[in-house]
Structure 1
């Protein structure tokens, strides 16, 4: 009978059976806080790593990590198994934006503001700040005016004189500003120089008598006002280019009126009528021959701006009534008669007539921002020309032959010639 070898029983040492290896204890989760957060690496676009540098919040991040690890619950080890406490599932809190507010002290204060709360707050603050600014500006402006810190005259608005003619196609509101810019440029090209010194047969007095007679002829035939102004301009332009004999001066006058009537009026005066009104001093052939000579000397150009073109616009800018309009035309026609007024350009003559008319009728103010804008002349520039027009007005009753004075003494033209001239001028 075979014998069995019986192994002696093994002793337990410290509760462990000898010969059996001791099971390894589970490794603990040994973590420590990073002392330097400068080595923080995050994943950027397309898996590339990017180094993040946050010098302002570096110290704060390190302290936050230490606090979080110390307060974190460690896993409980029991029976060789690590038990990690369960976390409650909560909804993801709204993202918060960290705003660093710098103060003069070395310490930095960190304020956490929710994005949703910030947007709502900004929405309410914008309207309140805007209201405060508007009300502050109104209060400050209203307080400066009574104290005299703000000049009220500088804030006067320029009146739109063409607003009432928007629906009138004949007024050409879309082009009127460009038209008068062109007139201002064109008047310098036809400025008439002093020609009386080169004329050895006529003088200033003879020219005044001719214009006075043409005013009467113009009034008898009831031609348009622009025809008279264009007639005088044609006469002066022709006399500045050619010597005229004394006997041909009246012929030049009626031929110039014939051309102006054809250019402006619908029904121009007939040649036979002009022959009769000149008491047959000239024949039909004489008038037509002078007409050809005028057109040849002027190069068939009759479209130069006259004082009437500017006067109509400036009277409208003055918002004048009927009396003031007639007074302005009366003073302008007085200026046409005198040779010395040729040194003033047509626009200045028209603007000075409006200014003198306002002074004569005691209109207040005598000159405003609207007139300054549309005429292009300030009040000091018009004083010299306006004084001469007022002097002509004061002596008009003493002149024996003055068709302009008789014309504007009629009641249908408000008898403006009978009014006293402006004393201030």
Structure 2
């Protein structure tokens, strides 16, 4: 699809929605051909590079946002680890003999004084935390009050957050009464040398994200109890149009998911008329672009893409309202956040990563953005269901859920049955949804035409949990 053709299509859809007709002699504002980082999942896996824009207008030769000098949030600083001194190397000096007056004063001390603390490493545990053990230095006060010693030791351990037990990996958690881990479980974080993958902290990070998705979750019934002038169908039209905008400007997938999240969170607490619904959509995409993109589109570009229905001042004012409503809490886990992790667990069963499986999971996850009914499911559950259905569609003969996926997603197959069934109907388009943007996007060869694939019939044995 050429740039001019896509431009005319977006502007025609905008004109038909808002009802505004522009005169034939009115000249439209030139738009800036945005530059995007090579973070788009589709472009990263595609075999051929995308062609440059057909024409760069005078606006592109004007002001440009300078790229940040440092784009990484994690500095490449070597990790510093505390040196643990073995017990055998610690020299404890024998206390000198005290005089009679010093011994009498020592008896009056109510709290024991510990002269030295030995830090002893646990043998044969490379990743275990050092164990703190308090040495009894034959102090008369310590002998007189052993409970004080135990209390001091306990407070020391708690203040340093030191555990006496070796920290278990994610694969070892929940495995009780077993000396060996099941061979079917695969450690997807083992052997990762890229520090940006955060293999050592991935378990803790996603445990935090699972809690964060509960805090910043939009309402599941704002259409029934909050909104008065719009309905789920209008929301679907808006999201479908935003998919085309994101594709036209080559925005990264996270920008689209964050945009929909901001829209739903704003609609959960504010009444919006249908005339200002599109203004809310482009304002949320402007905020998400500033958050995710290296070079975000300008305000004038979003005004242009709406066929200049809204002015720059209206767009900036709506941006301020959205930020105040969100209380500037822009960091929120989305479906895309979880599907990255879950897809890695799904790819562990393959000797070579499958691009088709990757694109299929992203396609199913993106389809759920348009449907208002999917707000009742958590983003992590939608991501797990997308991986489940993608594996079933990609390889119907294999079992769609295994022990590795159950371990890393924290969902059993039986818990995903309802969400997978709704996504199955969405994939087959049983309701006859007339919003084609996502389906046409994934019909392209760079996405291996995954939207044309049809899943097999769902069977009850697909949702049976492993014993």
TM range, normalised to the smaller chain? Answer: 0.5 to 0.7
Cα displacement (A) at 1:397: 10
Structure 1 position 351 matched with structure 2 position 366: no
TM superposition shift of 1:387: 1.1
Q: How many residues align?
A: 271
Map of 1:270-285 to 2, 5 A cutoff? 270-285=298-313
SS of residue paired to 2:417: helix
- Given the alignment, which residue of 269, 278, 282 partners 1:241? 269
User: What is the alpha-carbon distance in structure 1 between the residues aligned to residue 275 and residue 457 of structure 2?
Assistant: 41
Unaligned stretches of 5+ residues in structure 2: 1-180, 348-352, 460-467
- Among 176, 181, 188, the alignment partner of 2:207 is 181
- Structure 1 residue 398 displacement after superposition: 4.7
Summarize the alignment of residues 90-129 of structure 1 with structure 2, pairs less than 5 Å apart.
Answer: none
Q: 1:395 Cα shift?
A: 1.2
8 Å contact kept, 1:238–1:297? yes
Local SS of the residue matching 2:291: helix
1:261 has 2:289 as partner: yes
* Segments of 4+ moved more than 3 angstroms: 154-157, 396-401
Distance 2:435 2:382 in 1: 23
The alpha carbon displacement at 1:175 in A equals: 1.6
Q: 1:300 to 1:375 in 2, by over 3 A?
A: same
Report the Cα offset of residue 191 of structure 1.
2.2
CA deviation string 1:175-210 (max 9, x = no partner): 211110100111111222210112001000000000
Q: Counterpart of 2:19?
A: none
Contact 2:357 2:394 in 1 (8 A): yes
2:454 to 414, 420, 424: 420
1:100-152 CA distance string (max 9 Å, x none):
xxxxxxxxxxxxxxxxxxxxxxxxxxxxxxxxxxxxxxxxxxxxxxxxxxxxx
Q: Does 1:155 align with 2:188?
A: no
| Aligned-partner Cα distance in 2 for 1:387–1:293 | 37
Asked whether the equivalents of residues 356 and 422 of structure 1 are also in contact (C-alpha less than 8 Å), the reply is no
The yes-or-no answer on 1:316 pairing with 2:341 is no
Once the two structures are superposed, the pairs formed by residues 376-415 of structure 1 within 5 Å of their partners are: 376-395=410-429, 398-415=432-449
How far apart are the structure 1 equivalents of 2:236 and 2:435?
Answer: 10
Tell me if 1:325 matches 2:353: no
Q: Which residue of 2 aligns with 1:231?
A: 259
Structure 1 stretches of 5 or more lacking a match? 1-153
TM value normalised by structure 2: 0.57
Larger RCO (CA within 8 A; separation ≥ 6): 2
1:397–1:405: 8 Å Cα contact kept in structure 2?
A: no
More strand by share: 1
- Aligned residue for 1:134? none
8 Å Cα contact 2:303/2:311 also seen in 1? yes
2:373 paired residue number: 340
Tell whether the 8 Å contact from 2:425 to 2:431 is kept in structure 1 after alignment: no
Q: What's 1:85 paired with?
A: none
Q: Deviation at 1:399?
A: 3.7
Please list the CA deviations of residues 154-185 of structure 1 after superposition, one character each: whole Å capped at 9, or x if unmatched: 933421112242x2111112221111010011
Q: What is the CA RMSD across the aligned residues, in angstroms?
A: 1.5
Please give the TM-score of this superposition, normalised by the length of structure 1.
0.62
Q: Residues 49-60 of structure 1 correspond to what in structure 2 (within 5 A)?
A: none
1:201 corresponding residue in structure 2: 229
Please give the per-residue CA displacement for 1:306-335, whole angstroms capped at 9, x wherever unaligned: 111001100011015110111111111111
CA contact (8 A) 1:212 1:402 kept: yes
